[in-house]
Amino acid sequence: MAVKKKAPAKKAVKKVATKQAPLFKKMALIGLGHIGSSIAWAAKKNGLVGEIVGTARTAATRATAKKLGFIDSAVGDPAKAVKGADLVVVCVPVGACKAVAQAIGPHLAPGAIVTDVGSVKQTVIKDMAPFLPKGVHFVPGHPLAGTENSGPTSGFAELFEGRWTILTPLKGGDAKATAKLRAFWEGIGSNVDVMDAAHHDRVLAITSHLPHLIAFTIVGTATELEKHLRGEVIKYAASGFRDFTRIAASDPVMWRDIFLNNKEAVLEMLGRLNEDLSAMQRAIRWNQGDKLQKKFAKTREIRRSIVKAGQA
State the residues that interact with ligand NAP by CB under 6 A: 31-36, 56-58, 61, 91-94, 96, 117-119, 142-143, 146, 150-151, 251, 254, 258
Name which of 46 and 150 has its Cβ closer to ligand NAP.
150
Least distance (Å) between residue 172 CB and ligand NAP: 25
Least distance (Å) between residue 295 CB and ligand NAP: 29
Least distance (Å) between residue 34 CB and ligand NAP: 4
Residue 46 contacts residue 16 (beta carbons within 8 Å)? yes
First to last CA, the chain: 41
Closest CA to 62 of 44, 37, 98, 42: 37
Q: Give the CA dihedral 139, 57, 22, 130, nearest 10 degrees.
A: 20
Name which of 260 and 280 has its Cβ closer to ligand NAP.
260
Name which of 198 and 283 has its Cβ closer to ligand NAP.
198
Query: How does strand 49-55 pair with strand 113-116?
Result: unpaired
Least distance (Å) between residue 264 CB and ligand NAP: 17
Name which of 150 and 190 has its Cβ closer to ligand NAP.
150
Distance, in Å, from the CA atom of 42 to the CA atom of 143, rounded to the nearest integer, reads: 13
Residue 126 contacts residue 96 (beta carbons within 8 Å)? no
Least distance (Å) between residue 147 CB and ligand NAP: 6
Name which of 57 and 295 has its Cβ closer to ligand NAP.
57
Name which of 93 and 187 has its Cβ closer to ligand NAP.
93
3-state SS, one letter per residue, for 44-104: HHCCCEEEEEEECCCHHHHHHHHHHCCCCEECCCHHHHCCCCCEEEECCCHHHHHHHHHHH
Name which of 238 and 312 has its Cβ closer to ligand NAP.
312
Render 267-308 in DSSP notation, one character per residue.
HHHHHHHHHHHHHHHHHHHTT-HHHHHHHHHHHHHHHHHHHH
Least distance (Å) between residue 263 CB and ligand NAP: 15
For residue 143, the cross-strand partners are: 165
Least distance (Å) between residue 277 CB and ligand NAP: 26
From the CB of residue 216, how many other CB atoms can be counted at a distance below 10 Å? 18
